[in-house]
């Protein structure tokens, strides 16, 4: 006998449990399974009134039997091997037209492989990025779907019902075939790395350059959250900086070790950007900053050798703070421009046809980088004849013209004081290189020709040329090759 549940879910960890409650709350009957039965029991105890929409299962076969065909099953377990294991188990109990939805943070290349592996089985596969953490999963995440469009149509109702809403519009969308959803989630996280790192750098300038205590810094961020920087990350930064450690009475942030973890999505963003030849320098700097944060022993030793940066940012603090707000805005524009450029390149490379305005729209609520800024990005990409790079969209040109002098001042002053601002300075360097009509790689190309006879193009003639710097025997005549 076929079951009564509309959908199934494997993995009742932080994300799976909250997503299940969200689905049950929206009136969908959900069958759930977790490898460790005790977790299923604990989940049921916390389900309250939603328990009536939840079917607990203690084997994968029971899970399959509990769902009405064609069965959609969400897999929300640790990315990697565990996903392959669950897919293998599901293949034994599911039948034609059932849909396996991997909702974890998969590497999109794994998603492409799984999509291909399942092609011949009659099962369909969806790779689905989910952002918003625990709170988002429970109350409305941002959902990025990759797979066949007809598979999306079959789960669209439940996914749009549980997604966050921005002015009534659901933050869930089908973005393209196979790995599109997980790729977009990866770049979302890459941008998130850059966003968080730039906020941390500005916090560092206030703490070490202006000597401000955490509470005051929090108040500045709270103020900025009412302006153009309004965003979830700025909001939680203000809240974090205001929090006190109940045991010591100190600001919590002051007793947290300065060593940041990472699970891979930032690094994947950078690897894919490099593979496609798209500069994503602010994201790279943010990933590297987390790596350097992990080298605490070396950092402490180097500080003993080279001395601590003790210089303060001079000048009027109020002016500095105004500059910092604009610097953060400029850095953010550059980082988002890079992230969207990476997605655009991947879309061409993998033939996804990623709808960039839709990506920006479904990030406006529910996800960690949610902000009103994304509404402006959605509008910029949706505008007729929209620019390839966000830096060239008219509304962003105006913002960047206003903000980049502040970014320049802040990076210059930080560097004079010896305070590290790697993501902000990378963003500035990217902007300066991007808008420099006559660059300096004419010299690089000359060097390459000098030692490797790679040839170069000329400004004043078509063709490939060698320079007059070597013997004719070694590099041939200095004429067109």
- Point out the catalytic residue in the list 192, 201, 284, 325: 192
Task: Kindly state whether residue 78 participates in binding ligand NAP, applying the rule CB under 6 A.
Answer: yes
Site for ligand NAP in 121-140 (CB under 6 A): 130-131, 133-134
Which H or E run contains 143? strand 142-146
What letter would DSSP give residue 170? E
Compare residues 65 and 82 and give the one whose CB is closer to ligand NAP.
82
Q: DSSP secondary structure string, 254-288?
A: HHS-S-----SHHHHHHHHHHHHT---HHHHHHHH
What letter would DSSP give residue 199? H
Min dist. Cβ of residue 265 to ligand NAP (A): 8
| Segment interacting with ligand NAP (CB under 6 A) among 33-41, 50-58, 352-360, 468-476 | 33-41
| Segment interacting with ligand NAP (CB under 6 A) among 5-13, 25-33, 275-283, 460-468 | 5-13
Torsions phi, psi of 211, nearest 5?
Answer: 65, 30
Gap between the Cα atoms of 230 and 250, Å rounded: 27
Task: Kindly state whether residue 34 participates in binding ligand NAP, applying the rule CB under 6 A.
Answer: yes
Task: Kindly state whether residue 79 participates in binding ligand NAP, applying the rule CB under 6 A.
Answer: yes
**Residue among 81, 101, 79 nearest 90 (CA):** 101
Give me the residue whose beta carbon is nearest to ligand NAP: 13
Task: Kindly state whether residue 35 participates in binding ligand NAP, applying the rule CB under 6 A.
Answer: yes
Active site residue 167: no
Gap between the Cα atoms of 312 and 419, Å rounded: 9
Task: Kindly state whether residue 104 participates in binding ligand NAP, applying the rule CB under 6 A.
Answer: yes
Min dist. Cβ of residue 9 to ligand NAP (A): 10
List 5, 12, 63, 414, residue binding ligand NAP (CB under 6 A): 12
Gap between the Cα atoms of 271 and 273, Å rounded: 5
Task: Kindly state whether residue 11 participates in binding ligand NAP, applying the rule CB under 6 A.
Answer: yes
Rg (C-alpha) for the chain, rounded Å, is 26
Gap between the Cα atoms of 473 and 481, Å rounded: 14
- Point out the catalytic residue in the list 135, 150, 169, 185: 185
Compare residues 32 and 194 and give the one whose CB is closer to ligand NAP.
32
Min dist. Cβ of residue 239 to ligand NAP (A): 17
Active site residue 185: yes
Task: Kindly state whether residue 85 participates in binding ligand NAP, applying the rule CB under 6 A.
Answer: yes
Min dist. Cβ of residue 479 to ligand NAP (A): 58
Gap between the Cα atoms of 89 and 94, Å rounded: 9
Q: Are strands 169-170 and 165-166 parallel, antiparallel or unpaired?
A: antiparallel
Compare residues 79 and 240 and give the one whose CB is closer to ligand NAP.
79
Residue pair 126/101 in contact (Cβ under 8 Å)? The answer is yes
Gap between the Cα atoms of 149 and 160, Å rounded: 15
Compare residues 42 and 288 and give the one whose CB is closer to ligand NAP.
42
| Segment interacting with ligand NAP (CB under 6 A) among 79-87, 151-159, 169-177, 243-251 | 79-87
Gap between the Cα atoms of 431 and 401, Å rounded: 11
Residue with tokens 């004419």: 442
Which tokens is 92 given?
């034994």
Q: DSSP secondary structure string, 97-111?
A: T-EEEE-S---HHHH
The contact pattern for ligand NAP, residues 371-410, with x = CB under 6 A and - = no contact, is ----------------------------------------
Q: Which residues bind ligand NAP (CB under 6 A)?
A: 11-16, 34-36, 39, 76-79, 82, 85, 104-105, 130-131, 133-134
- Positions annotated as catalytic residues are 185, 192
């Amino acid at each position: 006998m076929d079951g009564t549940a509309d959908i199934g879910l494997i993995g009742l960890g932080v994300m799976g449990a909250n997503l299940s409650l969200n689905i049950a709350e929206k009136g969908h009957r959900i069958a759930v399974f977790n490898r460790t039965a005790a977790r299923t029991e604990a989940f049921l105890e916390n389900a309250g009134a939603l328990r009536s929409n939840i079917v607990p299962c203690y084997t994968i076969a029971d899970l399959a039997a509990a769902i009405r065909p064609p069965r959609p099953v969400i897999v929300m377990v640790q990315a990697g091997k565990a996903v392959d294991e669950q897919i293998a188990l599901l293949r034994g109990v599911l039948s034609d037209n059932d849909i396996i939805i991997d909702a974890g943070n998969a590497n999109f290349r794994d998603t492409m492989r799984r999509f291909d592996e399942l092609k011949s089985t009659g099962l369909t596969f969806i790779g689905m990025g989910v952002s918003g953490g625990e709170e988002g999963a429970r109350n409305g995440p941002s959902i990025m779907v990759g797979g066949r469009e007809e598979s999306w149509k079959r789960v669209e109702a439940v996914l749009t019902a549980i997604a966050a809403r921005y002015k009534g519009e659901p933050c869930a969308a089908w973005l393209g075939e196979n790995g599109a959803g997980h790729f977009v989630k990866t770049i979302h996280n890459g941008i998130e790395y850059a966003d968080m790192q730039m906020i941390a750098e500005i916090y560092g300038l206030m703490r070490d350059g202006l000597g401000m205590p955490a509470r005051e810094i929090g108040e500045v961020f709270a103020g900025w959250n009412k302006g153009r920087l309004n965003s979830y990350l700025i909001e939680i930064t203000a809240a974090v900086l205001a929090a006190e450690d109940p045991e010591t009475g100190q600001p919590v942030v002051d007793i947290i070790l300065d060593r940041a973890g990472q699970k891979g999505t930032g690094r994947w963003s950078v690897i894919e950007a490099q593979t496609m030849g798209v500069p994503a320098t602010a994201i790279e700097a943010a990933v590297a900053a987390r790596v350097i944060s992990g080298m605490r022993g070396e950092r402490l030793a180097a500080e003993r050798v080279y001395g601590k940066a003790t210089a303060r940012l001079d000048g009027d603090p109020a002016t500095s703070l105004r500059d910092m707000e604009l610097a953060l805005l400029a850095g953010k524009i550059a980082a988002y421009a890079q992230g969207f450029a990476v997605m655009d390149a991947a879309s061409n490379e993998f033939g996804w046809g990623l709808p960039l305005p839709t990506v920006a729209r479904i990030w406006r609520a529910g996800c960690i980088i949610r902000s009103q800024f994304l509404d402006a990005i959605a509008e910029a990409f949706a505008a007729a004849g929209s620019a390839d790079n966000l830096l060239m969209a008219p509304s962003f040109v105006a913002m960047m013209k206003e903000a980049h002098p502040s970014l320049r001042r802040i990076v210059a002053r930080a560097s004079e004081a010896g305070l590290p601002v790697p993501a902000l300075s990378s963003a500035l360097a990217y902007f300066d290189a991007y808008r420099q009509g006559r660059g300096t790689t004419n010299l690089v190309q000359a060097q390459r020709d000098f030692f490797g006879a790679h040839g170069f193009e000329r400004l004043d003639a078509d063709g490939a040329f060698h320079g007059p710097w070597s013997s004719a025997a070694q590099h041939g005549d200095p004429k067109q090759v």
